[in-house]
Amino acid sequence: MSFRPQRISATTLLLGALIATLGVLLWLRAAAPPEVFLTAEEKAWLQQHPRLRLAPDPNFPPIEFFDEQGRYQGLVADYYRLIEARLGIQFEIVHAASWEEVVKLARSHEVDIVGAAQWTPSRADYLLFSPPLLDIPNVIIARSGSQDMQTLNDLAGRRVVITQGNALDEYIRSQYPSIRLQPVPDDLSALQDVAFGDADATVVNLAIASYLIDRYGIANLRVAGDSGKSNALYIASRSDWPILNRILSKGLASITDDERQAIAQRWVHLENGTYRLLNRDALIALLTALAVLLAAGLLVALWNRLLRHKLAQQASALKQEYQERLQAQEALKASEENYRQVFNAANDAIFVHDAETGAILDVNQRMLEMYRIRYEDALRTTADQLGSGIPPYSREEARQWIEKTLTEGPQVFEWQARRADGELFWVEVGLRATTIAGQRRVLAVARDISERKQAAEKAAFYAVHDPLTALPNRRLLTDRLEQAIALAHRHGGEAALLFIDLDRFKAINDTLGHGIGDELLVRIAERLRGLMRESDTVGRLGGDEFLAVVQEPRQKEDASLVAQKILDTLSRPFMVGDRELTVSVSIGIALYPQDGDSVESLIRSADMAMLAAKHAGRHGFRFFDPRIDSIAAERLALETRLRQAFESGKLYLHYQPQVALKDCQLLGVEALLRWQDSERGSISPLHFIPVAEASGLIIPIGAWVLREACKRAQHWNAARATPLGIAVNISSLQFRPALVEEVKAALADSGLPPHLLELELTESVVMGQDSDVLALMNALRELGVRLSLDDFGTGYSSLSYLKAFPLDKLKVDRSFIKDMPQDVNDTKLVEAMLAIARTLELKVVAEGVETREQLAALRAMGCDAVQGYYCYRPLSEDDMTGLALAEQACPRCLPEEQ
């Protein structure tokens, strides 16, 4: 009986393939973790490098972080432990202090691997990136039971908090302006605000939200929806070891879907949303496809086995040829791999294109990163399409450079290019003609020089512009003024120079801080820039001084119109942060040729005119007048004599009594500075106090007044039965941290009890409610001294200021008292001030009381005390000593007999 093998039918083969497919798929899903298949070269490399330096972000929980014992923990840490087991290597964990230090170590190749990093063009210069390690969604977190907020569109009109610096901040503000976005310091604050009802929702990284909610026990929160944005993280390894990138990518690929989900479930615990760190369905589909391919391979192998006995002779004959071809293919593959490694490791973008058509034939990895383009799209592009398209960087110029390379040889030039997303940038291009596989080609190498170009442009710009306001600086202003003078000289016309100076700007810096002052200068510069004609120039001379050059004004009135426009524009309030600030300016105007025929002389004349505007009351403008020279000289002489008078002890104090309306007894005195000059006689404080402030003399003079007043008051109190307080005026220049020590010294030297010293502050000193101002006022109150607000009602005061500041007393300005009680409006205003003071539990002193009627009206309103000529004029030290020691009631204050 003969035996012949049965013919296997196609149905049987397909059935066998199906069974094999299902078996392989089940094995893939249930078997132990797969083996990582490494080439001989990769295995040898790992043997040479058994320990690899890994630098994680030290504070990025739960992605990666160091716990309290210094152990490496987090989602990414679990991935690396699996990769260690797969590859049989060991990661040496580098404990960097911050993410900035990690980046620095990676840039200098002092570490081999960065734990988890986002891809950026700058990092691609020194790092190679694996396939995505994690892709974590940014989700919408809301309170349990809140209305549906499944997408960002559902957040319109709602209060949404977001962490400062989060990349989503800018995205949401630009794409969803109707969302009421509010920044908070960190993700924990954002989650707590939502849980406590201070916000409707927050948008946050799912993994980070899960970790924080779990760690800090935040209740009453749920995942409401998906923002549509996610964070992709990669394994990043040093760029000079491309083989390490391939090995790590294989190790990452060996991690199964179940292992990934186990890691995710360990660190991400939020519910109410089907969020996964990786797409499980996609992995299952990939495994299924691989199973089908394996089944097909088994089918081919079976078919080959059935036919092998028929092809034995042919196989033997072809074996040698096959071996030779295989060796050739391996050699070609090795050559291609070496070429590709070198090609992709280059720091510059490289692309090869056809010399005739310009079609791009191949590009390296750096080119794709630099132009932000996919490989397939790059191969559908021609070389002349990579320019900005703006002449001289258009397609026509690009073709001319290629033609020049083909005819004249290598070319190197700078070029403005355009990325795939439309962004323009600068490159240095090198072109060289070559022959590849017998075909004429052009090799292009492009280096991104955008930073170099920007640095050069920035340096050139700020050589002639102010770095704070970006306005022309003194150098450029001088050049523009010289041009205006030359033009006026050539046409027989005029040129105008406006010197603009802010009034009392130092008070803003001293009370609100230099940061607020700088921001205000930027806002002022923006308004000035918008006022000028194209032919004119406005710039910053320095500090709070600006210059405006007006070319060829038709008549003198033109300069006046420009000055008035500047005054009107700058008088409108400025919003600086959450503060509303109002400023005034003084402007001096000088005209060419009558006020000066050079840059220096015109600036000097305009400066002197500006000072005249300030002396005239500020917030106005003045044209230069030759007589100003004598005014400036007079002011300098006054400053010199004042300094001499102070140093020689010629300044002295007078004292104006304050009388209590309740019993007409002497309540306290206000110390007033006086100066009797040997040549000029008595000089009013209205004249010499501004000079003292402008020259800085007010600081030592103010400290002397404080010491002298405390000494006199203690002398009087030592002989009195009832205490007598003394009030000292404090200038805005004195109101600084050093004032606390000056007050301590004055009290210690005199022995005066602190509660008997009252410091009078003007509204300009305390305006703005700045934290530094409040801190200084509280420090003074802690010493035990009293604080009063002088000239109340004439400046910036509001109920919010009065409520916030630690004040004891208000002093109603004399301007509200002088027409009482005849002026009904003034009377009502004073009544309102007294009502406010009673509400805030503040004492009130009315200044400038000069008639019996005024005193009677104030007594009827319930005013606490008065001072003025009706009761007492300012008294010398001897007269004040007699009054203080007499301890008698003021006879003019006593009520008339009924």
Q: Is the CB of residue 231 less than 8 Å from the CB of residue 205?
A: yes
**pLDDT at residue 283 tops 60:** no
Instruction: Choose the weakest-confidence range: 241-245, 308-312, 353-357, 866-870.
Output: 308-312
CA dist., res. 255 & res. 82, Å (int): 7
pLDDT at 873: 94
pLDDT at 580: 87
pLDDT range class, residue 136, cuts 50, 70, 90:
confident
**pLDDT at residue 753 tops 50:** yes
**pLDDT at residue 796 tops 90:** no
DSSP string of 29-53, one letter each residue: HHSSPPPP---HHHHHHHHH--EEE
Q: Is the CB of residue 682 less than 8 Å from the CB of residue 654?
A: no
285 compared with 469, residue with greater pLDDT? 469
CA dist., res. 72 & res. 370, Å (int): 34
Mean pLDDT of 863-872: 95
Instruction: Give how far Cα 874 sits from Cα of 548, 692, 726, 879, Å.
Output: 47, 22, 13, 9
Q: Is the CB of residue 622 less than 8 Å from the CB of residue 611?
A: no
**pLDDT at residue 233 tops 50:** yes
Which residues touch 569 (CB under 8 Å, ≥6 apart)? 527, 528, 531
SS3 of residue 635 by DSSP: helix
Q: Is the CB of residue 792 less than 8 Å from the CB of residue 827?
A: no
Q: Looking at this protein, which amino acid is placed at residue 602?
A: L
pLDDT range class, residue 14, cuts 50, 70, 90:
very low
Mean pLDDT of 73-86: 92
Q: Looking at this protein, which amino acid is placed at residue 123?
A: R
pLDDT at 19: 55
Strand order, beta sheet including 585-592? 537-542, 545-551, 495-502, 585-592, 620-623
pLDDT at 758: 96
Quote the pTM value. Answer: 0.42
pLDDT over 90 for what percent of the chain? 43
Instruction: Choose the weakest-confidence range: 200-204, 300-304, 346-350, 433-437.
Output: 300-304
pLDDT range class, residue 317, cuts 50, 70, 90:
low
Mean pLDDT of 1-18: 46
Judging by beta carbons within 10 Å of its beta carbon (0-12, 13-18, 19+), is residue 775 exposed, middle or buried?
exposed
pLDDT range class, residue 3, cuts 50, 70, 90:
very low
Strand order, beta sheet including 221-238? 90-93, 51-55, 113-117, 221-238, 127-143, 201-205, 159-163, 180-184
Please report the beta strands in 714-829, taking only residues with DSSP state E, as ranges in sequence order. Answer: 725-730, 757-762, 786-792, 809-812
Instruction: Choose the weakest-confidence range: 62-76, 261-275, 386-400.
Output: 261-275
CA dist., res. 394 & res. 505, Å (int): 51
**pLDDT at residue 287 tops 90:** no
pLDDT range class, residue 292, cuts 50, 70, 90:
low
CA dist., res. 20 & res. 291, Å (int): 8
Instruction: Choose the weakest-confidence range: 505-519, 806-820, 869-883.
Output: 505-519
CA dist., res. 489 & res. 504, Å (int): 37
CA dist., res. 844 & res. 837, Å (int): 7
Mean pLDDT of 786-791: 89
CA dist., res. 643 & res. 597, Å (int): 36
- Chain-wide mean pLDDT for the chain? 84
Question: Which among 411, 429, 416, 421 is positioned nearest to 389, based on CA atoms?
Answer: 416
**pLDDT at residue 32 tops 60:** no
* pLDDT digit string, tens, across residues 832-847: 999 988 988 999 999 9
**pLDDT at residue 66 tops 80:** yes
pLDDT range class, residue 27, cuts 50, 70, 90:
very low
The bridge status of strand 113-117 relative to strand 221-238 is antiparallel
CA atoms within 13 A on the CB side of 489: 10
Residue 492 in tokens: 């027989």
pLDDT range class, residue 278, cuts 50, 70, 90:
very low
**pLDDT at residue 886 tops 70:** yes
pLDDT range class, residue 627, cuts 50, 70, 90:
confident
Mean pLDDT of 473-498: 91
Mean pLDDT of 533-556: 87
**pLDDT at residue 291 tops 70:** no
* pLDDT digit string, tens, across residues 710-745: 999 999 999 999 999 999 999 888 888 899 999 999
Long-range Cβ contact pairs of 594-600 (< 8 A, separation 24 or more): 595/624, 597/485, 598/485, 599/478, 599/481, 599/482, 599/485
pLDDT range class, residue 302, cuts 50, 70, 90:
low
CA atoms within 13 A on the CB side of 288: 6
SS3 of residue 812 by DSSP: strand
Mean pLDDT of 491-514: 86
pLDDT range class, residue 276, cuts 50, 70, 90:
very low
pLDDT at 675: 93
Judging by beta carbons within 10 Å of its beta carbon (0-12, 13-18, 19+), is residue 310 exposed, middle or buried?
exposed
* pLDDT digit string, tens, across residues 409-446: 999 999 999 998 989 999 999 999 988 878 899 999 99
Q: Is the CB of residue 796 less than 8 Å from the CB of residue 829?
A: no
Residue 415 in tokens: 């070029």
- Which one of 201-210, 274-283, 309-318 scores highest in mean pLDDT? 201-210
H or E element at residue 329 = helix 312-345
pLDDT over 70 for what percent of the chain? 85
Q: Give rounded-to-5 percent helix, strand, coil for the chain.
A: 45, 25, 30
What Rg, from alpha-carbon coordinates, does the chain have?
42
DSSP string of 555-604, one letter each residue: SHHHHHHHHHHHHHHHHS-EEETTEEE---EEEEEEEETTT-SSHHHHHH
pLDDT at 31: 45
CA dist., res. 428 & res. 742, Å (int): 63
**pLDDT at residue 113 tops 90:** yes
Please report the beta strands in 206-313, taking only residues with DSSP state E, as ranges in sequence order. Answer: 221-238
pLDDT at 732: 81
pLDDT range class, residue 333, cuts 50, 70, 90:
low
**pLDDT at residue 647 tops 80:** yes
519: region left, alpha or beta (phi > 0 left; psi from -120 to 50 alpha) = alpha
- Which one of 33-47, 396-410, 787-801 scores highest in mean pLDDT? 396-410
